[in-house]
Amino acid sequence: MCGIVGYVGPKEAQPILIDCLKRLEYRGYDSAGIAIGGDEINVYKTEGEIAVLEAGMPQMPGVVGIAHTRWATQGRPTTENAHPFQGCEKGVAVVHNGIISNFMELRESLAGDGHNFSSETDTEVFAHLVEAELKEDSDLLETVRIALKRVEGTYAFAVVAPGRPEVVAARNESPLVIGVGNGENFLASDVTALLKYTNRIIYVQDGETVRITKDSVTIMDADGAEVKRAPERIAWSLEDAEKGGYPHFMLKEIFEQPAAIHDSFLGRIDAVEGDEPFLDGGSFSSVKIVACGTSYNAGLVGKYIIEELARVPVTVQISSEYRYSAAARENPLVVLITQSGETLDTIAAAREATKRGNRTLAIVNVTGSAITREVDHVIYTRAGPEIGVAATKTFVTQLVALYLLAIELGTMGRTLTAQAKRSIVGQLRNLPRSVQDVLNQAGTIEAMAQKYSGARDMFFIGRNLQYPIAMEGALKTKEISYIHGEGYPAGELKHGPLALLSKDTPVVAIVTNDRTYEKMIANISEVSARGSPVIAIADANDTEIIKYADDVIFLRETPSLFSPVPVIVALQLWAYHLAKARGCPIDKPRNIAKTVTVE
């Protein structure tokens, strides 16, 4: 949920660390701090944004350092609770992502040994643990390994100590990567922090402890054996992670979706058409999709797609609930969807599925992320870096991956004829053009959103495939515009939500030309009868809809199976322009973060 960066090299560390830290702002945070090493460790930290940190901090000379952005999970968002932390002797400095679950027990033990604490956080105890073990002639990496033996919970730690030209770090269920440079090396919790400086990345795995110096990288496994792992070259460029002239990352990423869709099926469609399976071996009787948030909504769309094309029963479950459900007698293929690959609840669900003896497949955007090591199969979405907190292109490319999976399952189960498969693949190839048509209407959508930007509440309704798209549209709206949005299956309006409708409650209705069209018209009539304004999303050739809706966003007609993609792009633009009209911080909405690494 927060950001870590570290640097060792020949250059002044302070400006490099601040620059890298800024590239992690999208993750969400409420305080920030920096520690620079040398003969002594200098620390400066503050409540608030990196700009506040940057404006107030002194010049801190040194070529070794760590920095951090914190989102409060243990203790209030104050300067005292910001990272880095030091022990009583102000020697070692520590930054941390995650939660130390036994920190109260450790704190009481350390206090009994004479350690004094200055914060409410769990992280501070680790600084004291390392300090208690560190001697003048001891090895910092080995000292950190010893301290870790007393820690229970999740973590990515980075540690610096006086007079030592190195950064030592460790990972357990919280993301951490090493950036390999020329005569300099880096640490970060996210690749995007490092793209300006290197594209050679080593992914740190659970249970590993690492040391970086300017000339070397050392990785030790949980048993203390050295691990040799070559760096991977990341295809993303710095330009990919910059705004590129757009006012917000979110808008840039919305407009990148035609290319992201194309990249996600590039090379795979040929394999699908050539009957090259990626689910070789094993058997399963059903599919269970497990995910959180936006990825959960993608999974709900996937249920309709897979059941339509493969005739396989599909259930969808929220990751944080999956572990606590009873193991059914069925033997499902468990599909885990996560844009970051580091979502802790979804990783835990993958492990539980493996314990139950189920085959597992992850749909994920980040190569080498934690979940890829927990599953049997992986489909990468190839969306590129997504900086805006509200998921846009990662959601759409998750849908592409689910279409590909459904075609694969339909081929395996012989529910798709060769002719049907060719037709579906042809429609899939047309999706980038369908999305571009929506983007060409951005000005119209902006004007309409401004008209309704004063609303306090907003409902989104749809049926069949468009029901989960209504949920995703509502989620986008509440995330970034702070308008209370709720997504409903349109048939459920009469079971409660009608009581909340009034002239001040706009309803966004998805009315595409499919088998639910007549029912949707009836539902819109119910809404209009209560005085609520209706904003319809409809096909361009629909001449009837203007009789029932106050405003209409017309989209090029797309085969119903694929219509969720252009519709959600329209709703992303809708949410974006609502937020813009209301003056909201679009890329960094309050209280939420891009990667959720705590349960």
Backbone angles phi, psi at 203, to 5 degrees: -85, 120
DSSP-derived secondary structure for 469-519: HHHHHHHHHHHHH--EEEEEEGGGGGGTGGGG--TT--EEEEE-SSTTHHH
Q: Which residues contact 270 (CB under 8 A, 6 or more apart)?
A: none
Cα dihedral sign, 10-16-17-23: negative
CATH tag for 440-588 (out of 3.30.530.20, 3.40.50.10490, 3.90.1150.10, 3.30.420.40): 3.40.50.10490
What homologous superfamily does CATH list for 243-429? Glucose-6-phosphate isomerase like protein; domain 1 (3.40.50.10490)
Helix (H, G, I), strand (E, B), or coil: what is residue 353? helix
- Rounded-to-integer distance, Cα 467 and Cα 472, Å: 9
310 exposed, middle or buried (CB, 10 Å; 0-12, 13-18, 19+)? buried
Pairing of strands 209-212, 64-70: unpaired
388 exposed, middle or buried (CB, 10 Å; 0-12, 13-18, 19+)? buried
DSSP-derived secondary structure for 252-277: HHHHTHHHHHHHHHTTHHHHHHTT--
* Radius of gyration for the alpha carbons in the chain, expressed in angstroms and rounded: 25
Domain residues of the chain, as ranges?
3-240, 243-429, 440-588
Cα dihedral sign, 325-404-306-432: positive
pTM: 0.75
> Which secondary structure element, helix H or strand E, spans residue 286, and what is its range?
strand 286-291
From the list 544, 554, 504, 541, the residue with the least C-alpha distance to 524 is 544
- CATH topology match: 243-429 vs 440-588: yes
The beta-strand segments (E) located in 365-423 are 377-380
Helix (H, G, I), strand (E, B), or coil: what is residue 311? coil
Q: Letter for the amino acid at 424?
A: I
Tokens for 23, please give them.
């590239």
Strand partners for 363:
337, 379
Whether residue 463 contacts residue 489, with contact meaning beta carbons closer than 8 Å, is answered with yes
540-551 burial string, b = 16+ CB within 10 Å, else e? eebeebeebbbb
Q: How long, in residues, is the chain?
A: 599
3-state DSSP helix/strand/coil % of the chain, to nearest 5? 40, 20, 40
Give the pLDDT of residue 28. Answer: 63
Tokens for 51, please give them.
């700009």
Give the pLDDT of residue 77. Answer: 81
- Rounded-to-integer distance, Cα 336 and Cα 320, Å: 12
pLDDT tens, position by position, for the chain (599 residues)? 578 999 999 999 999 999 999 888 766 678 899 999 989 999 999 998 899 999 999 999 999 999 999 877 767 888 898 899 998 777 899 999 888 989 899 999 999 998 989 888 899 999 999 999 998 888 999 999 999 999 998 899 999 999 999 999 999 878 899 999 999 999 998 888 998 999 999 999 889 999 999 999 999 999 999 999 999 988 767 666 677 678 898 999 999 999 899 888 876 776 666 666 667 656 788 999 999 999 999 999 999 999 999 999 999 999 999 988 887 778 899 999 999 898 889 999 999 999 999 999 999 998 878 899 899 999 999 888 888 889 999 999 999 999 999 998 998 888 988 888 889 988 998 999 999 999 999 999 999 999 999 999 999 999 999 999 999 999 999 999 999 999 999 988 778 887 888 889 999 999 999 999 999 999 998 888 888 999 999 999 999 999 999 999 999 989 999 999 999 999 999 999 999 999 999 988 887 655 555 55
Strand partners for 1:
none
Helix (H, G, I), strand (E, B), or coil: what is residue 314? strand
Strand partners for 156:
97, 171
Q: Which residues are catalytic?
A: 2, 594
In degrees, to the nearest 5, what angle opens at C-alpha 48 toward C-alphas 203 and 340? 25
- Rounded-to-integer distance, Cα 25 and Cα 389, Å: 10
Whether residue 189 contacts residue 155, with contact meaning beta carbons closer than 8 Å, is answered with no
- Rounded-to-integer distance, Cα 131 and Cα 262, Å: 52
Q: Look at domain 3-240 and name its CATH class.
A: alpha beta
- Rounded-to-integer distance, Cα 301 and Cα 566, Å: 13
- The dihedral region occupied by 61, where left means phi > 0, alpha psi between -120 and 50, and beta the remainder, is beta
Whether residue 5 contacts residue 168, with contact meaning beta carbons closer than 8 Å, is answered with no
Quickly list H helices, 281-331: 293-310, 319-322
170-194 burial string, b = 16+ CB within 10 Å, else e? bbbbbbbbbbbbeebbbbbbbbbbb
- Rounded-to-integer distance, Cα 352 and Cα 599, Å: 15
